[in-house]
């Protein structure tokens, strides 16, 4: 079961780009990397998922190096509403079970 | 498209009692997972159901059990409640086999055990 390591917390000013890195040294061949966002008293919300190289969607980019032992979530031009906890998960999307959330990174966006 | 719903929103139980939490999956989803989230912690995987069968289980004792119904709704049952069971219980639905593991979470049920 691949586990992840993330910084516990980060601060950023509004309008800046934020990069949150996740370490997953034991990632398996079939594992994908998925990021979730969670606001207080709400369930996590899917942000982005990838296997290798770079994935981009309308809210974020995900960078994955060739060895796949880490990944970086990039949030462009953050706003106050991006203040949340961000979780990095690794897991086999085909079997889909036992996704390990870890403690996540608490991002605070400062005006 | 109806999202994931959970009931009840809040619940207070006494140690030793039993509780049943309910989840209605997003339309078209065939897989449901349950998570326990203690205050200040990340969600911890309890188990997953696919086509009414348990499809994986985390490190939780047998007094945590579940069901998935033909309409893909689900229940989480916890027997012999302990104080440490106090947490937010999250249900997430997804479509297995789609190749993209995007789980849709409900708002959770806040369980307090006294």
Q: What is the pLDDT of residues B58-101, one digit of tens each?
A: 899 999 999 999 988 999 999 999 999 999 999 999 887 655 56
State the pLDDT at residue A77.
Answer: 93
Cis, bond preceding B75 (omega within 30 deg of 0): no
Q: How confident is the model at residue B51 (pLDDT cuts 50, 70, 90)?
A: confident
Q: Please tell me the distance in Å from B104's CA to the nearest CA on chain A.
A: 7
Which of B56, B97, B107 is the closest to A43 by Cβ? B107
* Nearest alpha-carbon partner for B74 in B27, B21, B17, B11: B21
State the pLDDT at residue A97.
Answer: 60
Q: Which residue of A has its CA nearest to B57?
A: A98
State the pLDDT at residue B113.
Answer: 98
Q: Which residue of A has its CA nearest to B88?
A: A41
In this prediction, residues B38-53 reach a mean pLDDT of 90
Dist. CA B103–CA B40, nearest whole Å: 21
**Are B82 and B98 in contact, with CB atoms under 8 Å apart?**
no
Q: Which residues contact A72 (CB under 8 A, 6 or more apart)?
A: A19, A20, A21, A22, A62, A63, A64
Dist. CA B9–CA B110, nearest whole Å: 6
Which of A34, A44, A46 is the closest to B43 by Cβ? A44
Which of B4, B44, B102 is the closest to A49 by Cβ? B102
* E strand segments, B1-114: 5-7, 10-13, 19-24, 31-37, 44-50, 53-57, 64-68, 74-78, 87-94, 104-105, 109-113
**Over pLDDT 70: what percentage of chain B?**
94
Checking if the pLDDT of B24 tops 60, the result is yes
Interface size, chain A vs chain B, as Cβ–Cβ contacts under 8 Å:
70
pLDDT per residue as tens, chain A (111 positions)? 558 899 999 999 999 999 999 999 989 888 889 999 999 888 999 999 999 999 999 999 999 999 999 999 999 999 999 999 999 988 876 665 667 787 899 999 999
* Nearest alpha-carbon partner for A60 in A40, A84, A42, A41: A84
């Amino acid at each position: 079961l691949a586990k992840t390591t993330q910084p516990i917390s980060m601060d950023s000013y509004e309008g800046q780009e934020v990069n949150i890195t996740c370490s997953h040294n034991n990632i398996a061949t079939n594992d994908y990397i998925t990021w979730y966002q969670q606001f207080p008293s709400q369930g996590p919300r899917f942000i982005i998922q990838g296997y290798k190289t770079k994935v981009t969607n309308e809210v974020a980019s995900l960078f994955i190096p060739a060895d796949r032992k880490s990944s970086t979530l990039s949030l462009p031009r953050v706003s106050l509403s991006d203040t949340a906890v961000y979780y990095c998960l690794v897991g086999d999307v085909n079997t889909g079970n036992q996704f390990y959330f870890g403690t996540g990174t608490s991002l605070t966006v400062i005006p | 498209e109806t999202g994931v719903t959970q009931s009840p929103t809040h619940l207070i139980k006494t140690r030793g009692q039993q509780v049943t939490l309910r989840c209605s999956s997003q339309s078209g989803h065939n897989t449901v997972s349950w998570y326990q989230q203690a205050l200040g912690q990340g969600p911890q995987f309890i188990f997953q159901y696919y086509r009414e069968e348990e499809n994986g289980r985390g490190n939780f004792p047998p007094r945590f059990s579940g069901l998935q119904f033909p309409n893909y709704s689900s229940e989480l049952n916890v027997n012999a409640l302990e104080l440490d069971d106090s947490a937010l219980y999250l249900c997430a639905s997804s479509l297995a086999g789609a190749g993209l593991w995007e789980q849709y979470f409900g708002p959770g049920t806040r369980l307090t055990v006294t």
